[in-house]
Structure 1
Amino acid sequence: MDMEFSPEDLAFQQEVRQFIAENYPPELRERQDEGEEMSKEDFLSWHRILHKKGWVAPAWPVEYGGTGWTPTQRFIWSEETARADCIRLMPFGLAMVGPVIYTFGTPEQKAHFLPRILSGEDWWCQGYSEPGSGSDLASLRTTAVRDGDDYIVNGQKTWTTLAQHADWGFFLVRTDKDAKQQEGISFLLIDMKSPGITVRPIITLGGEHEVNEVWLEDVRVPQSQRVYEENKGWTCAKFLLAHERTGIAGVAASKRAIEKVKDIARTEVDGDKPLLANAFFKRKIAELEIDLTALEFTELRSLAGPNANRGPGPESSLLKIKGSEIQQRLTELALEAVGHYGAPYFRGFGEGDNQHPIGPDYAHRAAPTYFNTRKTTIYGGSNEIQRNIIAKMVLGL
Structure 2
Amino acid sequence: MLKLTPEEAAFRDEVRAFFAADYPAHVIAKNAAGQQLDKQDHIDAQRALHARGWLGVGWPRDHGGTGWTPAQRYIFDQELELANAAAIIPMAVIYIGPIIAAFGSDRQKAEWLPAILESRAFWAQGYSEPEAGSDLASLRFSAVRDGDDYILNGTKIWTSGAQWADWIFCLARTSREERKQQGISLICAPLDLPGIRIHPIRLIDGSYELNRVEFDDVRVPVANRIGEEGQAWHYANVLLKTERLSYAHIGAKKRDLARLLAEAAHMPASGGGTMDRDPAFRLAAARVEAKLAAIEASVLRSLRTEISMATAAALKIACTECAQAISELAIDLAGRARLPMLGRDEPDWTAAAPAVPGFGPLAVQSYLFERAQTIYGGSTEIQKTIIWRALAAMAR
Both proteins in one fold, TM over 0.5: yes
What is the CA distance between 1:274 and its match in structure 2? 2.6
1:177 Cα deviation (Å)? 3.3
Aligned with residue 326 of structure 2, among 321, 330, 333: 330
Deviations 1:87-120 (A, max 9, x none): 1110001111111111211122112111111121
Cα distance in 1 between the residues matched to 2:222 and 2:178:
20
Distance change in 2, residues 1:270/1:24 (3 Å): farther
Summarize the alignment of residues 176-191 of structure 1 with structure 2, pairs less than 5 Å apart. 176-191=175-190
Task: Look up the equivalent residue of 2:370 and give its one-letter code.
Answer: T
Unaligned runs of 5+ in 2: none
For residue 195 of structure 1, report the CA deviation from its aligned partner: 0.8
User: Post-superposition shift, 1:58?
Assistant: 2.8
| Partner Cα distance (2:20, 2:177) in 1 | 57
Give the match for residue 386 of structure 1. Answer: 383
Deviations, residues 354-382 of structure 1 (Å, cap 9, x unaligned):
96225111222211221111111111111
Name the counterpart of 2:50: 51
Could you tell me how far apart the structure 2 residues matched to 1:29 and 1:255 are?
17
Report what 1:120 is aligned to. 119
Following TM superposition, by how much is the alpha carbon of 1:269 offset from its aligned partner in structure 2, in angstroms? 5.5
Please state whether the residue corresponding to 2:87 is helix, strand or coil: coil
Note if contact 1:264-1:338 (Cα within 8 Å) is conserved in structure 2. no
State the alpha-carbon separation in 1 of the partners of residues 390 and 113 from structure 2: 31
- Name the structure 2 match of 1:167: 166
Q: How does 1:204-353 map to 2 (within 5 A)?
A: 204-268=203-267, 273-305=273-305, 307=306, 313-347=309-343
1:178 Cα offset (Å): 4.9
Tell me the percent identity.
Answer: 39
- Structure 1 contact 242–314 (Cα < 8 Å) conserved: no
Q: 1:25 to 1:212 in 2, by over 3 A?
A: same
Q: Which runs of 4+ in 1 moved over 6 A?
A: none
Look up the equivalent residue of 1:145 and give its one-letter code. Answer: V
- The separation in 2 between residues aligned to 1:388 and 1:330, in whole angstroms, is 26
- Cα distance per residue 1:2-24 (max 9 Å; x no partner): 94312222211111111111012
Aligned to 2:374: 377
Distance 2:93 2:309 in 1: 18
Stretch moving more, 214-223 or 265-274 = 265-274
Aligned residues of 2:57 and 2:94 also touching (Cα < 8 A): no
Contact 2:196 2:214 in 1 (8 A): yes
TM-score normalized by the length of structure 2:
0.93
| C-alpha separation in 2, matches of 1:9 and 1:133 | 43
Contact 2:161 2:210 in 1 (8 A): yes
- Output one character per residue of 1:155-180: Cα deviation in whole Å (capped at 9) or x when no partner: 11111111100001111111113543
| Equivalent position of 2:198 in the other structure | 199
Partner Cα separation in structure 1 for residue 389 and residue 201 of structure 2:
35
Alignment of 1:85-100 (within 5 A): 85-100=84-99
Aligned partner of residue 183 in structure 1, secondary structure: coil
Amino acid in structure 1 at the alignment position of 2:291? D
State the SS of the aligned residue for 1:199.
Answer: strand
Taking the aligned partners of 1:58 and 1:127, their CA distance within structure 2 comes to 22
- Residues 205 and 369 of structure 2 are in contact (CA less than 8 Å); yes or no, is this contact kept in structure 1? yes
TM-score by length of 1: 0.93
Mapped partners of 2:16, 2:33: distance in 1: 23
The CA distance in 1 between the partners of 2:256 and 2:98, in whole Å, is 28
**AA in 1 matched with 2:97:** G
Residue of structure 2 in register with 1:153 after alignment:
152
Query: Cα RMSD between the aligned structures?
Result: 2.3
**Partner residue, 2:357:** 360
Distance of 1:202 and 1:81 partners within structure 2: 29
CA distance in 1, matches of 2:102, 2:150: 23
- How far does residue 43 in structure 1 lie from its aligned partner after superposition? 1.2
Contact 1:151–1:223 (Cα < 8 Å) also in 2 = yes
In the alignment, the residues of structure 2 paired with residue 289 and residue 355 of structure 1 have an alpha-carbon distance, to the nearest angstrom, of 33
Partners of 1:206 and 1:328 lie apart in 2 by: 15
The number of aligned residues is 390
Distance change in 2, residues 1:346/1:273 (3 Å): farther
